[in-house]
């Protein structure tokens, strides 16, 4: 036996279910540089916090 098949309603062109896709536009060079600087700063801060915490230097503050 086949499962009950319901007829699908056609999607209207102005329906919110129909996505309006824009053309892909890559980020600018300056935006990519700023993003990588942010990633590097996050990694350095994380390493710094872990170093201070696990070395025990936080106790001396």
Q: What is the pLDDT of residue 15?
A: 59
Q: Is residue 12 predicted with pLDDT exceeding 70?
A: no
In the chain, domain spans? 29-60
pLDDT > 90 in the chain, percent: 43
Q: Which of 9-13, 19-23, 28-32 has the highest mean pLDDT?
A: 28-32
**To which H or E segment does residue 45 belong?**
helix 29-55
């Amino acid at each position: 036996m086949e499962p009950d098949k319901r007829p699908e309603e056609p999607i209207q062109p102005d329906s919110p279910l129909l996505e309006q896709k824009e053309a892909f536009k890559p980020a600018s060079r300056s935006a990519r540089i700023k993003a990588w600087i942010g990633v590097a700063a996050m990694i350095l801060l994380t390493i710094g916090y872990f170093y201070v915490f696990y070395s025990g230097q936080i106790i001396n503050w």
